Every structure is written in structure tokens, then in C-alpha cells.
Amino acid sequence: MIDEFALQCPIPLTDNPTIQMGHGGGGRMTRDLIEKIFLPVFGNDLLAPLHDGAILPPLAGRLAFTTDSFVVRPMFFRGGDVGSLAVNGTVNDLAMCGARPLYLSAGFVLEEGLPIKDLWRVVRTMGAAAVAAEVRIVTGDTKVVDKGHGDGIFINTAGVGVIETPLTIGPRSVRPGDVILLNGDIGRHGIAVMAEREGLQFESDIVSDCAPLSAPVRALLDGRIEVHCLRDLTRGGLTAALVEIGESAGLPIRVEEESVPVQDEVRGACEILGLEPFSVANEGRFVAFVPGSQAEAAGRLLGPEAAVIGTVGSAGASPPMVEVRTALGTTRLLDLPSGEQLPRIC
Amino acid sequence: MKYLDEYRDAATARKYAEAITRETTRPWTIMEVCGGQTHAIVRFGIDTLLPSRITLLHGPGCPVCVTPLEVLDQAVAIASRPGVIFCSFGDMLRVPGSQSDLFQVKSSGGDVRIVYSPLDALRIARENPDQEVVFLAVGFETTAPANAMAVDRAKADGITNFSVLVSHVLVPPAMEAILGSRTNRVQGFLAAGHVCTVMGYTEYEPLARKYHVPIVVTGFEPLDILQGVYLCVRQLEAGRAEVENQYARSVAREGNRPAQELIRRVFTVVPRKWRGIGEIPESGLGLAPPYAAFDAARRFQVADHHAEENPECISGLVLQGIKKPQECPAFGTKCTPMHPLGATMVSAEGACAAYYKYRRHELAGGSPAGEATGGTTP
């Protein structure tokens, strides 16, 4: 990778192998960064004018618009880095609105002293992720903060997508009798990141599930599934998604614990760390609420890793809480995690 | 997962629950000592599998919950000082002291770090010779050996910028305090499997005889707990009061001798105040005189700090098995995991937090499962 970097980043930048304050100054050094790092990777006709903003063509349909900031530590982990998160995170938020993601902005806050090869690596992952998700990065910004006032790279991305379905997808569209589908096993992203954290390092082969969700969502919509609600399972994991949707919809949710796929390695790591797989973050997993009659068809469209994990109950029958039926046949409640998940002490 | 899944098997769990129901002819009140067991019971709904005549009371075995307010205030005071790196297990960071907690210290600029082992704190001390590194050494006999090893190694290697704020507690004196209380309701114990892995169970034998109470050393998985209850009920029904070992895959009668030897070398038995309960004689571990130089309370001169508990919090009664969490007027209203009045609402192993997390639906009267929580109110 360093060789490739040297190929595309000639003398001015290799002279300064790290980010300096001047790279955010708006002058020649900023220009160098744009021309030698960002443009070669992100380059497209909308970005090319390097104007103050991108001028987008007219779009047919309602628009979805979202923003997210990415501050993951460490910035590289098994299965991704802050760059792939920055693209997929925003792409997925648009997909969860039922939109086809089209355009992203990328705002970088770089810490003085950041190795340029690290920035290059992140930018290249972003470029690859954008290609995979069929979106274009059309505008951007770079700022540099003093050493010690950032943590390597922070990235903000905003995104625009067009909604081509007449459905209104959101918690308020959830109906009693809806079935909840999950598109794959949960917990890998959170554990993959934790495995790399300082002071925690444990050996694992767990790879982040970071991935764009626009294709599976489009498969559901193109397959004429009457999707009521979509939610990606990022911070707070499956727990937070279900609790929040249940509360917004004012309906109780029932989940079968055994139907939720969790890799053995993830379960093992969670046992050791005292975490609940249900509450661990994912970056390529989502739940879809669909009418019970379409559960099977939706499952087929989502592929063999998808699973039906629960159902929505009727209003008034019980409080709008999320109950889990455990493997033992007992029930317990899912509740929002309080603050950061804390490792257990014994 | 090998060694876990076989202890969570639903069919076997049902069989044990049925066996317990068959054995039970009278109401019995059994206390699980360890917070890890409490957490498993509530998380897996194990008590809802039991006949309603069996009442499980949740014991004082959550180290986070019983660490006294004074020690938390001392921790906050030390962690707030410049030049200090304060290391702790993660659970302790959100436990409220009388004014503040360690998370607040961290957000105000204090260098507070979560570690998974006291040896990590020792490594941080080696790497930062210009700073004082303090480790908050709390817990039962389970965490004592590793903490003892960190101090012993610091002494052997001449690491002088390392110290420990010690608030270790011991299980048998707490059980004796509960059994000796006028308000005691406990008729049988599930003893803490991990504590016994270290200490063995000979020290429970005199307790079983003196108070005529069965004590079953029990593990932490659903089937462990069900089997522990089964063995305990069988003893109660037969009028026996013995120490039995359900957790034989981990516990030997004599325990782990090298670990005990290390504890005895580094620590000495001291009276210890338990949060919400009060002082219990000979119920804690403090640093033995040869290791006194590593005592953070002494080094930072915070030893004579005193603090008062929030009068609304009934965690002491919960920890002694006298009340259940939902009997507290503040439960779920004034006191929640985000704004805990007492430590039992903070720790994952705290009875109040476990009830809040997994049981609010029943408490709100929304589910007919309430009956199955079995005789929660006296």
C-alpha cells in the first residue's frame, strides 16, 4: 500500500509524511491534499469543479437527507476502518428511509501529525465503499486541529437519496401483526472494534459486518414487499432499535432469542466481556418490519442469512415494551443500555 | 459454545424445575449470594420456572454494590488530583459517591482508565514512571488473588509509583451477619461458585452447622442455579444442613491454595464497612503491614473521610434479602440506572439494576407472569 501511495503522491506530500496545520489552511497545502489524495479517489463530474458546493441534477421523487459523524477508535479494525464506516453509515441511514442513496458530502477533521499514509488508506476505503454502494462523494471539506485536539481522523458525511417508493417507511407505519426480519448475524462490528482497543486486545478472527444496506433494501422494495419500517442496528444494537421502534409505534414487540443469529465467537467474546450481543453495535445489519403475510417472501429476498426474529403485538394488550422469549422458555425485557456498555468486573 | 450451551439447555431446565416442584412441600426462602447469580436468575427468568413456594432472595455478593460510599469518595478525590492515573474495573466508574463519580472526574479532565486486570494498571505504572498510578481494588475473594499479585509484583520490582485503594470484602462474615440478624428470612444459601473456586468451602461448614442452614456451592449458568436450588430444597425438605458442591467442575473443597497463600501474604483480615449494611467485623481485606506502602488511602491521605448515604435508598435492605427492589418507593422513578440513588441500581450484578432491566413489565402490572416471581412481598 505504501508503494501505491508513493506512486500517486509525489514529492510535496512525501516531504511531509504527516498532516500539518497548513493542510487545513486553505492555501497551497490544502490544494495539494485535495489534488493528490481526495480527487484521484473520489473524482467525478459533480465534484470536479471544486466549487463551494455541488450542483445536483433534478431528482424525481421525495428526497431523504441525513448526516452522521464517525469517530471510531481505533480507526482501523478487522473488516473496515473509519472511512468505510463513514460511507456505509450514511448510505445505510438513507436506505433505512427507503431511499436510493445518491450523493454524499465528506468533511474531514484531521489531527496534526496524522500520517498521510493513514489518511490515504482511509480515503481509498471510502472510495471503494462509495463504488460498492453506488454513491458519489460530490463535495467536501478539510480542517486540521492541533495535535492532541483530535484523535487522528474524524469524518462527517451527509447524504442525499431519492425515495422511489410511495410507502412511508418509519416506526409510525408499524402495525400489529407485523413480522420482524433481521438480515444476518449480529454483534460482529462492536466486538471487532473492541478487540483492537488499547488495554483490551484479545485474539479474535471476528470481522466487522460493515456493509452498505442499499441493495437489500432495494431488493425488498423492488420485490413489492410492503415495508413498514427499517432500522439499522448501529449503536445500542438490536436492543436500541427494537425499543425505540416499539416506543414510537406504541406497540409491544416480542422477540425469540434463539432465532437471532449470533456467531459463536461473538457470543464467547460477549460472555467474557459481560456484554449482551443484542446491545452490541453493527454496521451492516438491519431489521425490517413487514406484514406477516409477506414474511416468507421478504426472507427470500434478503437471502439465506436473514431470519424472522419476532412479531409486533396489539396496542393495549400489554405495555409497548420489547419482551424476549429466552431459550429456556422464560421471558425478559429488553431495555435501552445506559451509557457506554461497561465491562463486568467479575 | 462448549461449557455454556449445555448448561442452558431448555429441556433439562424444565426437568430440573419439575423435580424441584416435586420435592417442594412447604414454602422455602433461599438466598443466592453472588450478584452474578442474581443477574443470571433475572436475565434467564429462572425464578419464573420455580414453584411459587420457593422464594429466591438476592444476596450481598455484588462487589460494586457493597463498596462503601467513603471509598468511592476517596477514589474520586484521588482520581481528581493532577499527576494521577486512576485505574478501575469498568463497573465502578458510574457508581455514585456522595458528590460525584469517576465518569464525572474523567469528563472534568481526570485521567481515569478502565482496565481488565490489576496487572494492566501495574503495566501503566511501569510505562508512566513520572505519574502516580492507582488501582481501585474492590471485590470479593474472587478478585483478591490478582490484586494481591499486582501489589506483590510492584513490591518485588520496586515500582514505587503504584498503589491500590483497597476495599476487599469476604463472603462468609456477610452470610453470618445475615443469619445472625433478627430479621433474617434466609433458610438456605446458594454460595458463590467463583469465590469458592479460590477459597474452597471448608469455611462454610461451621456456618451450616451453627445456623443449621444448607449451603450449596453453585455456579452461574441456568442449569447450575436450578441444580443448586434442587439440592438446597432436598436438604431443606429432609431437615439436613450440609455444605454441598454443585459446582464441582470448578470448585474443590480446599480451593486454590497458591491463590489463598498469595492473599494471606499480601492482605490481612480487617473490619469492613459494607455499603447499605454497615460495618461487619473481620469481613474485609486490607494490605498487610509489609505492603502498607502501597496503600493509596494512606499515600494520598484520604483515609479518614466519612460520608452519609442517601436516606431514600434501601439498598442495604435489598442486599440483606429483607426487601426486594420493587418494594422501594424510589425504584424506577427517582432511582434508575441513569440516575441511581444507590449502587444496587448501577452494577449489572446489582439486584435493582437487574430488575429494572429485565422485569419492569411485570412490575407495571402488564404481564400475568407476576405470580411466578414467587412471594416477592412478605
Q: Is A49 exposed, middle or buried (0-12, 13-18, 19+ CB in 10 A)?
A: exposed
- Please give the pLDDT value at position A342: 53
Is the model's pLDDT at B362 over the cut of 80? Answer: no
Is there a contact between B224 and B193 (Cβ–Cβ < 8 Å)?
A: yes
Q: What is the gyration radius of the CA atoms in chain A, in angstroms?
A: 21
Q: Which secondary structure element, helix H or strand E, spans residue A253, and what is its range?
A: strand A253-256
* HEC assignment per residue over B158-191: CCCCEEEEEEEECHHHHHHHHHHCCCCCCCEEEE
Query: Which of B2, B46, B116 is the mutation pick for testing A, counting most A CBs within 10 A?
Result: B116
Find the DSSP H helices in chain A. 2-8, 11-15, 28-33, 39-42, 82-96, 116-133, 188-196, 214-222, 237-249, 264-273, 295-302
* HEC assignment per residue over B293-338: HHEHHHHCCCCCCCCCCCCCCCHHHHHCCCCCHHHCCCECCCECCC
- Please give the pLDDT value at position B367: 37
Burial A255-266 (b: 16+ CB within 10 A, else e): bbbeebbbbebb
Nearest C-alpha neighbor of A37 from the set A85, A106, A131: A106
DSSP A3-42: HHHHHHS-HHHHHS-B--GGGGSSSHHHHHHIIIIIHHHH
Domain with CATH 3.90.650.10 in chain A: 171-334
B95 lies in a domain?
yes
| Residues of B whose CB is below 8 A from A329 | 10, 13-14, 49
Nearest C-alpha neighbor of A76 from the set A161, A178, A151: A151
- Residue A76 CA to residue A115 CA, distance in Å, equals 13
Residue A171 pLDDT grade (very low, low, confident, very high; cuts 50, 70, 90):
very high
Choose the CATH number for A171-334 among 2.40.50.140, 3.90.650.10, 2.60.40.420, 3.40.50.720: 3.90.650.10
Residue tagged 442449569 (cell numbers):
B223
Q: What is the mean pLDDT of chain A?
A: 90
- Please give the pLDDT value at position A345: 53
Query: Which of A328, A335, A341 is the mutation pick for testing B, counting most B CBs within 10 A?
Result: A328
**CA closest to B17 among chain A residues:** A328
- Residue A216 CA to residue A200 CA, distance in Å, equals 34
- Residue B114 CA to residue B51 CA, distance in Å, equals 41
- Please give the pLDDT value at position B366: 40
Stretch B182-210: mean pLDDT:
96
Is A345 close to B143, i.e. CB distance below 8 A?
A: yes
Find the CB nearest B116 among A271, A332, A343: A343
- Please give the pLDDT value at position A161: 98
Is A199 close to B94, i.e. CB distance below 8 A?
A: no
- Please give the pLDDT value at position B150: 98
Identify the domain containing residue B134 by its residue range: 65-170+255-299
B327 lies in a domain?
no
Residue tagged 426487601 (cell numbers):
B323
- Please give the pLDDT value at position B87: 97
| Residues of B whose CB is below 8 A from A323 | 361, 367
| Residues of B whose CB is below 8 A from A325 | none
Residue B189 contacts by C-beta under 8 Å, 6 or more apart in sequence? B30, B31, B32, B33, B59, B175, B213, B214, B215, B216, B232
Angle subtended by helix axes B10-23 and B222-238, to nearest 10? 10
What's the pLDDT tens digit per position in A208-258?
999 999 999 999 999 999 999 999 999 899 999 999 999 999 999 999 999
- Residue A244 CA to residue B194 CA, distance in Å, equals 37
B14 lies in a domain?
no
Is B349 close to A268, i.e. CB distance below 8 A?
A: no
**CA closest to A262 among chain B residues:** B1
Q: What is the gyration radius of the CA atoms in chain B, in angstroms?
A: 21
Is A342 close to B90, i.e. CB distance below 8 A?
A: yes
Residue B86 contacts by C-beta under 8 Å, 6 or more apart in sequence? B75, B78, B79, B102, B105, B110, B111, B112, B113, B134, B136
Residue A340 pLDDT grade (very low, low, confident, very high; cuts 50, 70, 90):
low
- Residue B347 CA to residue A344 CA, distance in Å, equals 8
Domain with CATH 3.30.1330.10 in chain A: 2-163
What sign has the CA pseudo-torsion B295, B296, B301, B302? negative
- Residue B262 CA to residue B268 CA, distance in Å, equals 11
Find the CB nearest A327 among B8, B48, B138: B8
Find the CB nearest B115 among A199, A331, A339: A199
| Residues of B whose CB is below 8 A from A333 | 357-361
Find the DSSP H helices in chain B. 10-23, 35-44, 63-66, 69-79, 102-107, 118-127, 144-156, 171-180, 193-199, 205-211, 222-238, 257-266, 296-299, 315-319, 351-363
Which is higher by pLDDT, B181 or A300?
A: A300
What sign has the CA pseudo-torsion A337, A339, A345, B1? positive
What's the pLDDT tens digit per position in B326-359?
889 999 888 988 788 887 887 767 889 888 887 7
Residue B8 pLDDT grade (very low, low, confident, very high; cuts 50, 70, 90):
confident
Q: What is the mean pLDDT of chain B?
A: 90
- Please give the pLDDT value at position B364: 53
Stretch B33-60: mean pLDDT:
92
Distance of residue B61 Cα from the nearest chain A Cα, in angstroms: 11
- Please give the pLDDT value at position B277: 81
B75 lies in a domain?
yes
B33 lies in a domain?
no
Beta-bridged to residue A324, according to DSSP, are A255, A332
**Does the interface ipTM go beyond 0.85?**
no
Is the model's pLDDT at A94 over the cut of 50? Answer: yes
Peptide bond before B145: cis, by omega within 30 degrees of 0?
no
Superfamily of domain A2-163: PurM-like, N-terminal domain (3.30.1330.10)
Residue tagged 500520517 (cell numbers):
A115
B107 lies in a domain?
yes
Range picked from B105-114, B209-218, B304-313 for highest mean pLDDT: B209-218
Is A328 close to B364, i.e. CB distance below 8 A?
A: no
Determine what percent of chain A is predicted with pLDDT higher than 70. Answer: 91
Residue B126 contacts by C-beta under 8 Å, 6 or more apart in sequence? B159
Distance of residue A19 Cα from the nearest chain B Cα, in angstroms: 26
What's the pLDDT tens digit per position in A49-76?
888 899 999 999 999 999 999 999 889 9
Question: Can you count the helices (H) and strands (E) in chain A?
Answer: 11, 13
Give me the CATH number covering residue B268: 3.40.50.11740
Is the model's pLDDT at A201 over the cut of 70? Answer: no
Residue A194 pLDDT grade (very low, low, confident, very high; cuts 50, 70, 90):
confident
Distance of residue B8 Cα from the nearest chain A Cα, in angstroms: 7
- Please give the pLDDT value at position B368: 32
Nearest C-alpha neighbor of B194 from the set B36, B57, B4, B8: B36
Alpha carbon A140 to its chain centroid, in Å, reads 19
| Residues of B whose CB is below 8 A from A279 | none
* Least-confidence region, from A145-159, B32-46, B310-324, B353-367: B353-367
Is the model's pLDDT at B377 over the cut of 60? Answer: no
B78 lies in a domain?
yes
Is A318 close to B367, i.e. CB distance below 8 A?
A: yes
Residue A200 pLDDT grade (very low, low, confident, very high; cuts 50, 70, 90):
low
| Residues of A whose CB is below 8 A from B115 | 199
- Please give the pLDDT value at position B311: 83
What's the pLDDT tens digit per position in A1-16?
444 444 444 434 545 7
- Residue A106 CA to residue A140 CA, distance in Å, equals 5
Which is higher by pLDDT, B84 or B103?
A: B84
- Residue B176 CA to residue B178 CA, distance in Å, equals 5
**CA closest to B372 among chain A residues:** A330
* Least-confidence region, from A304-318, A329-343, B66-80: A329-343
- Please give the pLDDT value at position A346: 45
Within 13 Å and on the Cβ side, how many CA atoms surround A77? 30
Which CA distances in Å does B172 have to B34, B180, B192, B218? 12, 12, 10, 15
B293 lies in a domain?
yes
